[in-house]
Amino acid sequence: MAFEFRLILFVLLLAASLALILVAASITGLYIVKLLIGIVAVVLDVLAMATRYFTYLFEPMYKMKRRVAVIDSDDPYTMSPSGNAIIRREKDLVYATAFVKIPVYASATEMEDAEKADFAMAFGRMLSIIKEPFRLSTQLYVLNKDEYVEKIRRRLDEAQDRYNQLASKESAEGASASRNVSPEAERIRGETTMWRNMLDSVSGARSHSLLSYAAITSAGGTEEEAVNLAVLKGGELATGISTALGISASLADRGEILFLIEPDYMIPIANLSEQITRKEEGNG
Amino acid sequence: MDTESLVYIAITGLVALMLIMTSAGYGPFALVIAVLAAIAILVNIMINYVDFIVFPFVTRLLGISFVVGNRYTIPKTQDSVIKYVNGIYYATGYLTGNLYNYVFSSQQEQDDRTAFAGAMDKWERIVMNVDFPFKFNVIAMSENVQKYREELDGQRGYIEFQISREMNSTNPNQMSIGELERRLGIIQAKMDRVATGERPMNVMMYIESTAVGVSEKEASDRLANQLSQLQTVFNAFDLSIMRVTGREVYFLNRLNYMIPNWAELNKMFQSQK
């Protein structure tokens, strides 16, 4: 459809350019007018060539305001009600894309050369298990350590509270007792130091994780049709991948899909604030 | 050079030539019109072959940016897609990374196995050396086996013809014969693999990275830095990796949400595939 539209536009622009050249040739004198007609013919000729790749920009550029051309102002996709595919509308068709998680925990460092080659060959074979085009991605992402850091921070606060309580209790009793800290207070102080060190080391460096997944798309007249087809193909792909690699691949759900396609899920906000604080400290 | 490109260039070129031929009738402006038409021919060729230079040049010159979705924009530099969420900018950029030629280019399967084994080590070293998010994407689709076999048959026949012509010449060049025999060996190895049940593939590969910043410029600068680091580490694969700019940035971003069929993919990514 888009291809046909592109061709029609190409022919129309070229015909207009040609017509203008003929009109200009038929005029005698009036050189300024002929020059203007010639310039328009040249522009139309270049525009005709531009239809080869840029047809999708013609309308947005025509409607452009303040040098911002809007190709699409809607969300790029919507999540299917079942949460196991994303839906994108393009012209008359609905496209649904399902995602398959590929949990691979093998590492080249633990393999012999023959095993590495076999594994890589199996990965290569995996690409040919399905006739439809699909995308296989491996993503290195920043781990969201927010919850973990929060847990350590809570433990540190608890340990500090216990130490303070014990220290104030001991200091109240301690007028008569010896000046030395009790073994219990010493132990809690050690625990506090341990949690503080752990907090520093965990929040100080970024942690990353590697994840592989596949995505496959189906087109349909309605959302239900497209989603059902995509989930079906996704299941087929998961089975093929599981067999080829000897793992247990499965369809990704709502939260996991967002994590695979949204850049803000790939880099958690907790790490960002950390990064910005560090940068400010560096500048300061 | 594909046929469609040639048709486009030829037809638009003919119209421009017609203008040049009639330029004598433009009186004092004859030269101006002839030069403009010649420039049009040149621009048309550039649009077809180096649109990733022409398009960003035009958008930068005119300061045009594109909104490609709610919260997503492509800046006038045409080299990234920027997402804005709660005061934070996420810039995503792309690199070409076609590893396909890295393998299946040897005459012996054993050579490919060695290359595969080495590739795993290289890949792990890359992952260990990178401390920012990135994705390596492969879009794959099985090719029609029969068609592929026929293509290989045709290529083999042509190379055999070239070899026999070279051998029958008065002064046969041993170096070119050797090169032709090497190419013949590669084609034969591919045919043997298809015969053993391996399916031929259409593959397109690209690398993607995302950087964050509190301003669009900061995110873009970080992204440029990340992509140049990725270019350096992926050099281990002996590939020419270049940053994707121009219209293909838009299409690569669209691949996040849907994967079109192979014919459409071919149309989208003709020059930087």
The reported pLDDT for the residue numbered A272 is 58
Please, which pLDDT band fits residue B81 given cuts at 50, 70 and 90? very high
Q: Is there a single domain that holds both residue B136 and residue B239?
A: yes
* Last residue within a domain, chosen from B132, B161, B195: B195
Q: Is there a single domain that holds both residue B228 and residue B129?
A: yes
Q: Is there a single domain that holds both residue B209 and residue B125?
A: yes
The reported pLDDT for the residue numbered B108 is 56
- Tell me: pLDDT of B272 over 70: no
Which tokens hold the place of B234?
Answer: 């992926």
* Last residue within a domain, chosen from B195, B223, B256: B195
The reported pLDDT for the residue numbered B224 is 92
Nearest CB to B116 within list A38, A45, A121: A121
* Last residue within a domain, chosen from B195, B214, B230: B195
As a whole number, mean pLDDT of residues A243-264 equals 84
Interchain CB contact of A131 with B (< 8 Å): yes
Instruction: For residue A266, list chain B residues with Cβ-Cβ distance below 8 A.
Output: 133, 210
Q: Is there a single domain that holds both residue B118 and residue B211?
A: yes
Which neighbouring-strand residues pair with B67? A70, B73
Contact criterion met (CB < 8 Å) for B135 and A139: yes
Instruction: Tell me the angle at which helices B51-62 and B30-49 cross, rounded to the nearest 10 degrees.
Output: 120
- Tell me: pLDDT of B111 over 60: yes
- The rounded distance, in Å, linking the Cα atoms of A100 and A81 is 18
pLDDT, tens only, B147-178 = 888 888 888 888 888 888 888 888 888 888 88
Q: Is there a single domain that holds both residue B123 and residue B95?
A: yes
CA angle B260, A244, B273 (to 5 degrees): 35
How many whole angstroms from its chain centre is CA B220? 23
Q: Is there a single domain that holds both residue B161 and residue B136?
A: no
Is B248 within a domain? yes
As a whole number, mean pLDDT of residues A199-207 equals 70
As a whole number, mean pLDDT of residues B85-93 equals 89
pLDDT, tens only, A18-70 = 898 888 888 887 888 888 888 999 999 999 888 888 888 888 888 888 888 88
Burial (CB count <10 Å: 0-12, 13-18, 19+), residue A127:
buried
Q: Is there a single domain that holds both residue B205 and residue B135?
A: yes
> For residue B55, what is the nearest residue in chain A, using CA coordinates?
A54
Instruction: For residue A116, list chain B residues with Cβ-Cβ distance below 8 A.
Output: 116-117, 120-121
pLDDT, tens only, B184-225 = 888 888 788 778 777 777 778 888 999 888 888 888 999 999
Please, which pLDDT band fits residue B273 given cuts at 50, 70 and 90? very low
Is B221 within a domain? yes
The reported pLDDT for the residue numbered A279 is 56
Give chain B's domain count.
Answer: 2
Closest CA to B245 of B35, B94, B104, B97: B94
Is B128 within a domain? yes
pLDDT, tens only, B31-57 = 888 899 899 999 988 888 888 888 889
Tell me the ipTM for this assembly. 0.75
Q: Kindly report the nearest CA distance between residue B180 and chain A, in angstroms.
A: 28
Q: Kindly report the nearest CA distance between residue B164 and chain A, in angstroms.
A: 36
The reported pLDDT for the residue numbered B75 is 92
Q: Is there a single domain that holds both residue B262 and residue B152?
A: no
Q: Is there a single domain that holds both residue B155 and residue B244?
A: no
The reported pLDDT for the residue numbered A269 is 64
Which neighbouring-strand residues pair with B54? none
Closest CA to A215 of A117, A133, A114, A121: A133
Here the CATH number for the domain that contains residue B228 is 3.30.70
Is B245 within a domain? yes
Is B51 within a domain? no
CA angle B151, B153, B159 (to 5 degrees): 105
Is B260 within a domain? yes
Closest CA to A217 of A68, A80, A115: A80
Q: In terms of residue numbers, what domain contains B119? A: 84-143+200-268
Q: Which amino acid is at A86?
A: I
Q: Is there a single domain that holds both residue B171 and residue B209?
A: no
Contact criterion met (CB < 8 Å) for A133 and B140: yes
